[in-house]
Amino acid sequence: MCIKNLQKEVVIHQMSVKRQKVGKLPPRADMKACLTRAKQRIPELLDNLEEDYNNRERFLLYGYLTAYWSCLYGHRPGVYANLTDGEVLEAEKLGGEDGFLLYVKEHKTVKTFGEAQMFLTTEEFGWIQRWMAIKASVKEKNSFVLFTKGRGPSKNLNTYLRLAWREMGLQGEINFTLLRTAIATYAKQSSNPADRKKVAEYMCHDVRTADKFYARNPDVTEAAAIRGIFSSSLGEMPSTSGACRKRKRQAEESEEEEMEEQHWRIEADQGGCPCQVLG
């Protein structure tokens, strides 16, 4: 009974949280600007790090790389944090002029979706190769691409993401969850069901979970369109055209004349007076 009594409050709380999150999503224009600015800034940071390796620009590089990847694919930060040197080398062997495909084996939903994937162009993969060379020059022992001073993966990627986001001049709160939700929401709004399914599977995202909440939280534009559906169901039936009304009236008049003629014939056969019938 205690659990049953809490269900209403839990559901309402979940809906409220989801609605607040949708209200904070970065607009499409900001995500496009992020891709453009990160593409310009990442090579500059790599140039600086090759000349003078320092942690400040290393953290900025992590922020720009993960922001760029997230605006493309919307992965959870664990995918980027768990990307290893070995997985980069594997992609390097299998890739070519058409691009490179990274397979990340360790992430949150690996049991459901298998390895997480990221396709990168030759230019984008070149950034990772340059960073791997810098890493080798400073003789880091960590096996992760976005390495830390210890042995494990980076735990501060959200902080680095916010650093890069602010340096790009983009406003509003940002984190990987918001970028992931934005990718899923915009794909739902602008893609057909088949394409949306492909996007969801690629980003290791379960659309059933999303639909459970987001379908009940439409924005103003979607709500207005839904209202239009309701209004259209109350519309009047198509009116009868003038020609149809004229034919109907002619048919009724002919039927009346025929009935009157039959009535007169019956009275005449019975010897009655037609005038009495009409009276």
Parent domain of 37: 14-220
Fill in the DSSP letter of residue 186: H
Question: Is 241 inside any structural domain?
Answer: no
**Beta strand spans in the chain (E):** 100-104, 116-120
Question: Is 256 inside any structural domain?
Answer: no
Output the CA–CA distances (angstroms, integers) from residue 216 to 12, 20, 22, in the order listed.
Answer: 11, 13, 12
Q: How many domains does the chain have?
A: 1
3 state DSSP class of 48:
helix
Question: Is 94 inside any structural domain?
Answer: yes
pLDDT in tens, 184-220: 888 777 666 676 666 656 566 566 655 554 545 566 6
Under 8 Å between Cβ of 169 and 162: no
Question: Is 2 inside any structural domain?
Answer: no
Distance from the first to the final alpha carbon of the chain: 81
Q: What is the pLDDT of residue 262?
A: 61
Q: List the one residue out of 188, 232, 250 whose CA is nearest residue 214.
A: 188
In the numeric block, the tokens 């600015």 are attached to 37
User: Cα separation of 202 and 116, whole Å?
Assistant: 7
Q: What is the pLDDT of residue 135?
A: 94
Question: Is 79 inside any structural domain?
Answer: yes
Question: Is 207 inside any structural domain?
Answer: yes
| pLDDT less than 70: residues of the chain | 4-6, 8, 10-23, 110, 112-113, 190-193, 195-220, 222-223, 226, 229-230, 236-279
Report the CATH number that the domain containing residue 106 is assigned in CATH.
Answer: 1.10.443
Question: Is 261 inside any structural domain?
Answer: no
Question: Is 170 inside any structural domain?
Answer: yes
